[in-house]
Amino acid sequence: MSQGIVYNIQRMSTKDGPGIRTTVFLKGCPLRCLWCSNPESQQTNPQLLFFSSLCTGCGLCLSVCPHHAVGMQAGISTHNAALCQHCGACAAQCPSHAREISGKSMSVDEVMAVVKKDALFYENSGGGVTFGGGEPTAGGQFFLDLVAASLDEGFHVTVDTCGQSSAKIFDKALELADVFLFDCKHMDAEQHAKLTGHDNSLILRNMQAALSSGKEVRIRMPLIPHMNDDEENIAAMAAFFHTFDRHEIEVMPYHAFGLSKYTALGKAQPDIYSYSPEALHAVLALFTKHGLSPIIV
């Protein structure tokens, strides 16, 4: 039975595909988007997040850490990233959730046991299971086994993907899944590499395969101020999608909800700001100008 690393299972989700859904978030992503709102999803291995503002200074973490990675300073616990082995002993004892482990090894059966709890809701709402991440296809065989197990139960399956996936894994997912939520970030290969760490050649290959497959594909664009919201990129995007007779695009304006996670992981926060209503309106007008219908999600 295959196993993989899951960092969240969100039940009763209504924004990750049709109906009421359970979204399974697999840990690991090949991209390093500068604006990533879930930085804990990037690495495959489990990671400790330390939210120092939540620490009450109880000292339980200090007493259980086997690697001496916890200290105390001015009544608040500290975290030594160089010594931490991300074992989770401190998180298991933390009463204030100042310490959390992101990522848990689970089998297909363990994931499906959670998914099946809401089967009645899927049936009554036209919902099902969504696999996201990170990048779900990075889970390889574990991801494919989860999709197959969901289909065996008669559940509708949606895949939320950035498209940076091997053709072998992606084409198999394309054969199996019902709906794809497919991110499109930038049309220029060089700019895409600067923003995400990879050019977009593989993503466009998989995007073309998806749009030509006859499957339902919902195009999504994370909209980031001064990074991918210029008219040249929007016009290029429109020209690409018009060749597939596609005119709707789901736009996800940047938000700062995930910034505290960067600090909790010991990373520098991205220097990006959310749109003002006026600035967002001006950018959305560019989509309309080039024949795309933007839908805020």
What pLDDT digit, counting tens, does each position of 215-230 carry? Answer: 999 999 999 999 999 9
Single pTM value for the model: 0.94
Give, in order, the Cα–Cα distances in Å from 124 to each of 113, 127, 201, 283: 19, 8, 40, 38
Q: How far apart are CA 46 and CA 100, in angstroms?
A: 10
Residue range 55-68, pLDDT digits in tens: 999 999 999 999 99
- Report the pLDDT value the prediction gives residue 32, as an integer from 0 to 100: 97
Question: In which band, very low, low, confident or very high, does the pLDDT at 22 lie, cut at 50, 70 and 90?
Answer: very high
**CATH numbers and ranges of domains, the chain:** 3-44+104-296 (3.20.20.70), 47-102 (3.30.70.20)
The C-alpha angle 206, 1, 4, rounded to 5 degrees, equals: 55
Residue range 85-119, pLDDT digits in tens: 999 999 999 999 999 999 999 999 999 999 999 99
User: Are the beta carbons of 126 and 156 closer than 8 angstroms?
Assistant: yes
User: Are the beta carbons of 135 and 169 closer than 8 angstroms?
Assistant: no
